[in-house]
Structure 1
Amino acid sequence: MTSNHPSLPSVGPPARRRTVLLAAAAAVATLAAACGSGSTAASAPAGPAKELRLGYFANVTHAAALVGVSKGFFAKELGATKLTTQVFNAGPAAIEALNAGAIDAAYLGPNPAINGFVKSDGQALRIIAGATSGGAQLVVKPEITSAAQLKGKNLATPQLGGTQDVALRAWLAGQGLKTTPNGGGDVAITPTENAQTFQLFQQGRLDGAWVPEPWASRLVIDAGAKVLVDEKDLWPRGQFVTTHLIVATTFLQQHPET
């Protein structure tokens, strides 16, 4: 995590921030790609699954998955169940894969999970464990020192409707700056893969980004950015969910032992 950075005041009291976040999530959800829905008709458990298809991101905020997969911890605990993995850039894509039956479970942020749950009328998925708190920041060009200076600028987030995307839109709204899902408004937000965000910032084509670790620190250390907002400063006691584990409801019903 980066350190010695300035931070801006939060949107307001925790209750106001939660309200703004929910409103922003709802606004983005109406125009983001539909997550779809899944059938969850009850069926008798079929014992341990032959295979578990797991999605996660190549981010520090997904350390639980990165370590569990690379060190073989998951494979050991699964026993005879084969583990296959798929890496995603952001949560909405993972939700689409889960709803399409391409994966059975995924580590992702709260906003895509909520959107997937709501759009399926609560049928498609279940959150079964927490994984990470913290690790997301808004980093910008060094000359930007206030929210007001973001007007007319171009910022990036990992994906439209993702956790960092909603957080950025909510924070900007709290600062009196408007955004739209298609990149309009006072501040243009461009959904961009994290590795590409790094390159575009180096090229001067982005003014900043709200991203998870390690990308925030990489932008600061290797690309000359500075931290304008550390998201932990916006939450009570500095705690907020970055990553948790979800599973398809049908998979959970059929293979509860897995």
Structure 2
Amino acid sequence: MKKLWLALGILAVTVLAACGSNTGGAEEAGDEITIGYFPNINHVAGMVAEEKDLYSETLPDGTKVNYQYFPDGSSFMTAIETGDIQGGLVGPGPAMNHFTSGAEINVVAAGSTGGTVIMARNGADISSPEDMAGKTFISPRVGCTHDVQFETLMKQEYGITSDRVDGEMKHVTGKPATYASLFEAGKVDVATVPEPWASSIEAEGNGNVLIDTPDVAYGETLPAAVFVTSHDLVENNPEMVQNIVDAHKNATDFIQENPEEAKEIAIKKIKEITDQELSEEVIDNAWERIDFTYEVDEKHLQDFANSSYDLGFLEEKPDLTGLVDLSFLNE
């Protein structure tokens, strides 16, 4: 029933726009959209937009804006494809993987770059990447952005691969917010971690930085988060997509212009979503590893997709032509 009402809401927006509405969308109350994001620092634009109600400022009057929080990219992309959410922030890995598998989606903006850190557990007897042979590492999902960044580096620079391809490292998956406790319990040796969870591990003294953001594969060039919507929405309701992108751009500008308030919002939202309260010290440290931007460089995405193919996460060599639509950033 929820999907039916969402579909009807989108249809109403399209019909009104076609009839010459000067608002670029529906005017009657009851129209509804849902935006998704993750509780990590690369997705602060989503937190700021929610806290400041920025989508309501750009969408037509009466539009109800909901938010949904995701633990990983696979569940996010499924929600995009089923229409449970209309847009939001996700890592580039899941977006590219689903696109090459036939998902009709578009990347319409970036969210941030940087923020991936490789952490080693204290007591794991790991002082360099070469020590990873025979060790266990954790990432949010198989083939996710952080997984590909780590495994690309290990394969290209050290010739060490995971057990997915009969390699020397054992791979497990789990939510980043749990990594500190897994380190403390000695259940994993290394984690490929999105911020702020790397800085949290540092602050709690359960691990140390094995490979910092600039030295991780694509660490400072790849969009760590991209803003995705369905191609159907882009084609049939570009006014709505433009309104959504405008709000996202406003959120990114707010972060750049008001970093201290944005940090406070991040602490508050992460506490609400994960029930974990992070200190100002942790957030400050995480912030230094991230650049908040909505600009997208298609070449970096293609290079990253090629690495995903080389690692065996994609069955065919990817062609990302048509994935990125920059027209909404240029309006």
Shared fold per TM-score greater than 0.5: yes
RMSD: 2.2
Structure 1 residue aligned with 2:105: 125
1:178 to 130, 149, 161: 161
1:145 to 115, 127, 146: 127
Structure 1 residue aligned with 2:189: 207
* Larger Rg, first or second structure (1 or 2): 2
- Runs of 5+ unmatched residues, structure 1: 1-42
Q: Distance in 2 between matches of 1:126 and 1:133?
A: 18
C-alpha contact (below 8 Å) 1:232/1:240 kept by paired residues: no
| Shift in CA distance, 238/251, structure 1 to aligned 2, threshold 3 Å | closer
CA shift for structure 1 position 236: 7.6
Relative to the length of structure 2, the TM-score reads: 0.60
Instruction: Identify the structure with bigger relative contact order (alpha carbons < 8 Å, sequence gap 6+).
Output: 1
Q: How many residues align?
A: 213
CA shift for structure 1 position 223: 3.8
CA shift for structure 1 position 204: 1.1
Does structure 1 residue 60 correspond to structure 2 residue 47?
no
CA deviations over 1:222-244 (Å, ceiling 9, x no partner): 14311111232346893321011
C-alpha contact (below 8 Å) 2:116/2:216 kept by paired residues: no
Structure 2 residue aligned with 1:6: none
Structure 1 residue aligned with 2:179: 197
Relative to the length of structure 1, the TM-score reads: 0.76
Q: Distance in 2 between matches of 1:109 and 1:158?
A: 11
Structure 1 residue aligned with 2:54: 73
C-alpha contact (below 8 Å) 2:149/2:216 kept by paired residues: no
Q: Secondary structure at the match of 1:257?
A: helix
Does structure 1 residue 257 correspond to structure 2 residue 257?
no
Structure 2 residue aligned with 1:134: 114
Does structure 1 residue 101 correspond to structure 2 residue 83?
yes
C-alpha contact (below 8 Å) 1:201/1:223 kept by paired residues: no
CA shift for structure 1 position 217: 0.5
One-letter amino acid of the structure 2 residue matched with residue 138 of structure 1 = I
CA deviations over 1:180-237 (Å, ceiling 9, x no partner): 449x631111111112222211111111200110001111111431111123234689
Q: Distance in 2 between matches of 1:169 and 1:130?
A: 23
Q: Which has the higher strand share?
A: 1
Q: Which has the higher helix share?
A: 2
C-alpha contact (below 8 Å) 1:45/1:253 kept by paired residues: no
C-alpha contact (below 8 Å) 2:116/2:219 kept by paired residues: no
Structure 1 consecutive aligned stretches of length 4 or more whose deviation exceeds 4 Å: 234-237
